[in-house]
Amino acid sequence: MAEILSLHDAVARYVEDGATVAMEGFTHLIPFAAGHEVIRQGKRDLTLIRMTPDLIYDQLIGAGCARKVIFSWGGNPGVGSLHRLRDAVEKGWPRRIEILEHSHAAMACAFEAGAAGLPMAVLRGYVGSDLPKVNNQIKFIECPFTGERLAAVPSIRPDVSIVHAQKADRAGNVLVEGIIGVQKEAVLAAKHSIVTVEEVVDELAVEPNACVIPGWAISAIAVAERGSLPSYAHGYYDRNNRFYKEWDAIARDRDAFTQWLDDHVYNAGGATQ
Amino acid sequence: MSLDYTSSEMMTVTAARALENGMTCFVGIGLPSEAANLARLTHAPDVVLIYESGTLQTKPEVLPLSIGDGELCESALTTVSVPEMFRYWLQGGHVSVGFLGTAQIDRFANLNTTLIGDYHDPKVRLPGGGGAPEIATNAHEVFITLKHSKRTFVKDVDFVTTLGFGRDGKGRDGVPNIGRGPTRVITDLCVLKPDPETKELTVVSLHPGVTREDVIEATGWEIRFADELESTPEPSTHELEILRELKERTDRKHSGQ
């Protein structure tokens, strides 16, 4: 049964140093407010899982929260590189991080397998790719029925998953609308989960086939208004594409990044940019 | 009469013409997305565009900056979860063509979007595979579009992120349930297709004003030309007009106006 907590308390309770954390949201509904709270609380040695690290993990990596990053596409969409991710991988600043790379299909399947309680996911993937040579978590198995060679990856079972959604009702039932990514799978695959929402309402008023995550399958709900900016919340506000472009210059330079972090995270008291 | 157009416009229009009405196209972000939407707005109004964010049959008014822009969802027939997208729609065999960009391509059309240099000591770290490794093998065929240069067209890619035809051209031989792979590569200089036997990329058509020497100069291996080398038709006034309007709308939207 989801408890409605402050974002501070939810992160303090469920995100421990050294934890495996998945903050999901496929371009849409990225939980930036929660990511910033993790940075403010100075969490360390996290294994961060996300299909697209995006600016949120660029910020967490640059702030020194990550020990390892598991991902499938690590760019700034439509803009270029994630410079904090690159600086950590190429130069070890602010610390060296380990990376494990997958493809989108494999990670999506691994989240789904985690939600399904299975130890691994099977897919027709990685044929002819060099990725299995550099990621020992990619194996090949033979289908016992047809003999076809298929790829297998371990399921994703985070200690805690954090996602953002449009709204919850007072029992903590959550409605996710628009591009739903792997949010539901991430929540169901994790031991604990935090869902930040734009608002808590009396009635969710959902259509029969809407993407709803029941409150009894979530650990904590926290209200974070505009909590996914500069990503967006379908029906609430648009993606701040201009900021995604501006991030390139901020993240390119260690000093500019550190200054940005001071102004917009450490001294921002929970407000997002 | 010769129209005034850039080599980038020539590339986009030629890439767009590769798509046919009735195709179901899994679209990569950037140049492929520009070409696919130009096709939809000109000769192929019924082409079905699918983006890996789960947006099925989408008709964006402006080009998305990211693969998951709200525009894609709002103009889609329906939006499914990302696991459903990759499992049912792509792996399930419903995609006729995957349209990809890349940072590096080699003579057997293998794609590298992972890194330049050694994996454990990279010179340049690139974003990684994303959807491409499975798009390239599960779609029935693959179109690739990128700018032509010695940096992008290399003899052997540093890292095979995504299979073209493997290091020896035989990477798909005997593999069950695999697509045909890259069937054409569209650049700002020419169109290339894999040789039917060896799978080595071969120039089949030169864009207007481009010489063999231009292509040789911009390719990192001894590039071969088809015996019957064609000349790529110029863009039409209509295509250029639609493309320019699309890009203008897109720029206006993304600059925050």
Compute how many other C-beta atoms are within 10 angstroms of the C-beta atom of residue A165: 29
Cα of A110 to nearest chain B Cα, Å? 9
Is residue B164 within 8 Å of B105, Cβ to Cβ? yes
Collapse the DSSP code of A132 into the 3-class scheme (helix H, G, I; strand E, B; otherwise coil) and give the result: helix
CB contact under 8 A, A74 and B162: no
CB contact under 8 A, B82 and A241: no
Which of B 79-108 lie inside 8 A of A, CB atoms?
Answer: 79-83, 85-87, 90-91
pLDDT band of A173, cuts 50, 70, 90 = very high
> B237-254 vs B7-17: helix axis angle to the nearest 10?
110
- The residue in chain A having the minimum alpha-carbon distance to the alpha carbon of residue B103 is A80
CB contact under 8 A, A77 and B131: no
pTM over 0.80? The answer is yes
CB contact under 8 A, A104 and B90: no
The one catalytic residue among B52, B134, B234, B239: B52
* Separation between Cα atoms, residue B122 and residue B38, nearest integer Å: 36
List pLDDT tens digits, range A22-32: 999 999 999 99
Residue B202 in any domain: the answer is no
Q: Which ipTM value was assigned to this complex?
A: 0.96
- Provide the residue range defining the domain that includes B151: 7-185+234-254
Is residue A51 within 8 Å of B68, Cβ to Cβ? no
Residue B217 in any domain: the answer is no
Mean pLDDT on A100-115: 98
Instruction: Report the CATH number of the A3-102+157-266 domain.
Output: 3.40.1080.10
* Separation between Cα atoms, residue A43 and residue A53, nearest integer Å: 17
* Separation between Cα atoms, residue B83 and residue B74, nearest integer Å: 20
Question: B255 — contact with chain A (CB < 8 Å)?
Answer: yes
* Separation between Cα atoms, residue A215 and residue A2, nearest integer Å: 5
Q: Is the pLDDT of residue A272 over 60?
A: no
Q: What is the model's pLDDT at position B68?
A: 84
Tokens 């700002």 identify what position? B188
Partners of residue B67 in chain A, C-beta under 8 Å: 26-27, 77
Residues of chain B with pLDDT under 50: 1, 257
Cα of A169 to nearest chain B Cα, Å? 23
Closest CB to A26 among B68, B161, B163: B68
Residue B194 in any domain: the answer is no
Q: What is the model's pLDDT at position B169?
A: 98
Interface probe for B, chosen from A79, A111, A124, A213 (most Cβ of B below 10 Å), is A124
Angle at A211 between CA B58 and CA B135, to 5 degrees: 45
- The residue in chain B having the minimum alpha-carbon distance to the alpha carbon of residue A79 is B65
> A254-261 vs A54-62: helix axis angle to the nearest 10?
100
Partners of residue B55 in chain A, C-beta under 8 Å: 179
Question: B175 — contact with chain A (CB < 8 Å)?
Answer: yes
Q: Is the pLDDT of residue A203 over 70?
A: yes
Which of B 116-135 lie inside 8 A of A, CB atoms?
Answer: 119, 122, 125-134
Q: What is the model's pLDDT at position A39?
A: 98
- The residue in chain B having the minimum alpha-carbon distance to the alpha carbon of residue A102 is B129
* Separation between Cα atoms, residue A137 and residue A154, nearest integer Å: 7
Partners of residue A105 in chain B, C-beta under 8 Å: 86-87, 90-91, 131, 133-134
Torsion of CA A123, A125, A130, A134, to 10 degrees: -20
CA quadruple B16, B104, A53, B93: dihedral sign: positive
Residue B212 in any domain: the answer is no
Cα of B48 to nearest chain A Cα, Å? 18
Residue B205 in any domain: the answer is no
Q: Is B197 annotated as catalytic?
A: no
* Separation between Cα atoms, residue A224 and residue A239, nearest integer Å: 16
* Separation between Cα atoms, residue A254 and residue B240, nearest integer Å: 42
Look over chain A and give the mean of its residue pLDDT values, rounded to a whole number.
96
Q: Which residues of A235-265 are buried (b: 16+ CB within 10 A; e: fewer)?
A: ebbbbbbeebbebeebbeeeeebeebbeeeb
Is residue B226 within 8 Å of B251, Cβ to Cβ? no
CATH of residue B57's domain is 3.40.1080.10
* Separation between Cα atoms, residue A214 and residue A199, nearest integer Å: 16
Q: Cite the beta strand spans of chain B per DSSP E.
A: 24-27, 48-51, 55-58, 76-79, 97-100, 104-105, 111-112, 115-118, 121-125, 141-145, 182-186, 190-194, 201-206, 224-231
A75-84, A119-128, B222-231: least confidently modelled range: A75-84
List pLDDT tens digits, range A228-270: 999 999 999 999 989 999 999 999 999 999 999 999 999 986 5
Higher pLDDT among residues B68 and A12, named by residue: A12
Q: What is the model's pLDDT at position B67?
A: 82
Q: What is the model's pLDDT at position A270?
A: 55
Is residue A168 within 8 Å of A215, Cβ to Cβ? yes
CB contact under 8 A, B127 and A73: yes
Partners of residue B178 in chain A, C-beta under 8 Å: 127
* Separation between Cα atoms, residue B218 and residue B151, nearest integer Å: 8
Domain count, chain B: 1
To the nearest whole percent, how much of chain A has pLDDT over 90?
A: 95
Question: A235 — contact with chain B (CB < 8 Å)?
Answer: no
Q: Is the pLDDT of residue A143 over 90?
A: yes
Partners of residue A104 in chain B, C-beta under 8 Å: 52, 82, 86, 129-131, 134
Q: Which residues of B203-218 are buried (b: 16+ CB within 10 A; e: fewer)?
A: bbbbbeebeeeebeeb
CB contact under 8 A, A124 and B159: no
Q: What is the model's pLDDT at position A271?
A: 45
Q: What is the model's pLDDT at position B1?
A: 44
Q: What is the model's pLDDT at position B2?
A: 56
- Counted across chains A and B, CB pairs separated by less than 8 A come out at 182
